[in-house]
Amino acid sequence: MAGKVFFGVAMSLDGFVAPESHAAGVRAMDSFKAPAKYTDDSEVQRWVSQWMELQQGTFPLRFFRENLKLGQGGEEGRDNDIARETFDRTGASVMGKRMFDLGELSWPEEAPFHTPVFVVTHTKRDPWERPGGTTFHFVNDGLEQALDQARDAAGDRDVRIAGGGTTILAYLNAGLIEEFSITLSPVLFGAGTRLFEGVDASRIALEPIRSEPSPRGTTHLTYAVHPR
């Protein structure tokens, strides 16, 4: 039996899933490996600060530290359980080329997916295998082909549309998302990548599944997606 197609993202209260300026984001991701190059880049510092605020509920978690090999310790509790459950249900991931480009700059050698990842792109490239079970496959013939390959790889586990926001929206508007979760962070961006900008609301109906407040101030919202 095939699993679900879902996404899960952190979002600001005003609806943004990434700070403004993709160019600053690229430099910011690079700065994680070469911080001295960007010491005086105020745009990068602002981008990183906003992104860290958005992800404030993730970084302290025990699961996050374990998955990125950051050492022992970290917070447990419901937030940690949700992060682990999301990882455990995922048999394969799909992402856009822009997200891959950012991640290639910042992921450790052992990328944090530990499953096949299918990158929707126009760039031809051989599969890129990383230690720990992650292999990136580059799919040149569209969203549905990438999803079909991910479903085959996932077996009876779920497929996660990992991002970025443009790719998630494309799958949502194509009627290919069955469920999504949002971790709503108590921050305001004012500008950036807005998750639902351009959504085809005439085709999409949502069924609330779960709403869980976190001691860290975030709220976890989960919805099933149905055709309208």
- Which residues span the domain enclosing 110? 5-227
Is the pLDDT assigned to residue 43 strictly greater than 70? yes
For 176, counting Cβ atoms within 10 Å of its Cβ (0-12 exposed, 13-18 middle, 19+ buried), the class is middle
User: SS3 letters for 28-55?
Assistant: HHHHCCCHHHHCCCHHHHHHHHHHHHHC
59: which 2 tokens?
A: 């970084």
Q: pLDDT at position 58, please?
A: 85
- How far apart CA 51 and CA 32 sit, in angstroms, is 13
Q: pLDDT at position 60, please?
A: 84
Lowest-pLDDT range of 8-22, 30-44, 119-133, 211-225 = 30-44
Q: What is the CATH number of the domain that holds 57?
A: 3.40.430.10
Is the pLDDT assigned to residue 1 strictly greater than 70? no
Q: What is the model's pTM?
A: 0.90
Count the domains in the chain.
1
Alpha-helix residue ranges (DSSP H) falling in the chain: 22-31, 42-54, 62-67, 78-89, 97-106, 143-154, 165-173
Q: pLDDT at position 127, please?
A: 97
Summarised one tens digit per residue, pLDDT across range 51-65 is 888 988 788 889 888
10: which 2 tokens?
A: 């952190």
- How far apart CA 212 and CA 209 sit, in angstroms, is 10
Summarised one tens digit per residue, pLDDT across range 148-207 is 999 999 999 999 999 999 999 999 999 999 999 999 999 999 999 999 999 999 999 999
Strands, sheet with 5-12, edge to edge from the N-terminal-most edge strand: 128-129, 135-139, 116-120, 90-96, 158-163, 5-12, 179-185, 219-227, 204-213
Smallest CA-to-CA distance from 176 within 128, 130, 218, 120 is with: 120
Is the pLDDT assigned to residue 135 strictly greater than 90? yes
For 1, counting Cβ atoms within 10 Å of its Cβ (0-12 exposed, 13-18 middle, 19+ buried), the class is exposed
Q: pLDDT at position 13, please?
A: 95
- How far apart CA 223 and CA 178 sit, in angstroms, is 9
Summarised one tens digit per residue, pLDDT across range 95-129 is 999 999 988 988 889 999 999 999 999 999 999 99
Q: pLDDT at position 20, please?
A: 82
